[in-house]
Structure 1
Amino acid sequence: MADSPSQQRVRQALAAKGLSADIVEFDAHTRTSQQAADAIGCQVAQIAKSLVFKALDSQTALLVIASGANRVCERKLAALIGEPIGKADAEFVRQQTGFAIGGVSPVGHVTPLQIVIDQDILQFDTLWAAAGTPNSVFKLTPQALIEASGGKLADIRLD
């Protein structure tokens, strides 16, 4: 099956960083971390979920890549970026990333984004991330995720 335009953007962004993507597409949605883990057959914590927040003062997008088992502490995140944050609606997410919620990839965005990565991902050898659609994923290492996304590691887990 041919890649969708979103999947092509993910594949091209990874290739630009010297990485190849083996995109796996499922019949069922993999929008949530649990759905993705069930489809893949991995731990929920191995899902590198992409969450988009809106920095309220600057009105810019902030992409958080978190372990699928973790909730993000918005207080820690706001302190890290130095301004209050809020939830991003579906339209804002698509405008800023080029992807629909549930398919936001850690790479291949239509606008440059500030990216923060949950340090808990480092405990795994393999991660799975959305490949641009709500039913496709690709496998990578934590180090490849950091390098490909340009994200900054931080303690952002809600305790």
Structure 2
Amino acid sequence: MTEHDPTWPLGVLRVAEALQTCEPVAEPFMLESDARTAQEAADALGVALGQIAKSVVFRRLADDAPVLVMTAGDRRVDEKKVATLIGPVGKADAQFVRSRTGFVIGGVAPVGHLTPPMALLDASLQRFSRIWAAAGHPRALVALSPPLLEALTGAPWAEVTA
């Protein structure tokens, strides 16, 4: 088990613990400043926008369940495609996102959620051998491979973008 920096925000510590289950172990790291958008994260890392795995949270209308869609930073989620797969969804406001995931918008990680969400992975992320996802805070990121993202989330790959 890796020792984590005790000064990290609680959300990052929660993500770091969840990442201990994967092989190889992935470790969050902190940027110097917030990267609340995929573009800000890509600029900070010097990588292609598509390599940033954006976390988009929806509210499933039938049961108010959180739905996490991990999509490539250069793509937009098509709500109709998501609805076809899991039922009608609506926008999730900042309070819903924080109360269900435990993360603020801009820091929603693929793991470590307070309420495990239904999740879908954008198939276009598979274009890359390495992607970066938020790790519990707008300054925290983690590098993952698409197969590792799939293993961590247990989510299926789907065509969810416009």
TM-score of the aligned structures, taking structure 1 as reference length: 0.95
The letter of the residue matching 2:41 is: A
Q: Which runs of 4+ in 1 moved over 4 A?
A: none
Q: Is the 8 A contact 1:30 1:36 kept in 2?
A: yes
CA–CA distance in structure 2, aligned partners of residues 55 and 104 of structure 1: 17
Match of 2:148 among 125, 128, 144: 144
Structure 2 match to 1:134: 138
Match of 1:7 among 6, 12, 16: 12
Q: Deviations over 1:88-141 (max 9, x none)?
A: 011110111110000000011011110000000111010000010011101010
Q: Is the 8 A contact 1:11 1:20 kept in 2?
A: no
State the percentage of identical aligned residues: 42
C-alpha displacement at 1:42, in angstroms?
Answer: 0.3
CA–CA distance in structure 1, aligned partners of residues 74 and 140 of structure 2: 19
TM-score of the aligned structures, taking structure 2 as reference length: 0.93
Q: What is the RMSD of the two structures over their aligned residues, measured on CA atoms?
A: 1.1
The letter of the residue matching 1:59 is: D
Structure 2 match to 1:59: 64
Structure 1, gaps ≥5 residues long: none
Q: Deviations over 1:65-87 (max 9, x none)?
A: 00000000100100111x21111
Q: Is the 8 A contact 2:28 2:141 kept in 1?
A: yes
**Does 2:101 correspond to 1:92?**
no
C-alpha displacement at 1:17, in angstroms?
Answer: 3.0
CA–CA distance in structure 2, aligned partners of residues 28 and 11 of structure 1: 19
The letter of the residue matching 1:89 is: D
Q: Is the 8 A contact 2:100 2:113 kept in 1?
A: yes
Task: Indicate the larger mover: 33-42 or 10-19.
Answer: 10-19
- Give 1:1-159 correspondences, 5 Å limit: 2-81=7-86, 83-158=87-162
The letter of the residue matching 1:45 is: G
2:66 counterpart SS class: strand
CA–CA distance in structure 2, aligned partners of residues 144 and 63 of structure 1: 17
CA–CA distance in structure 2, aligned partners of residues 121 and 98 of structure 1: 24
Q: Is the 8 A contact 2:19 2:27 kept in 1?
A: no
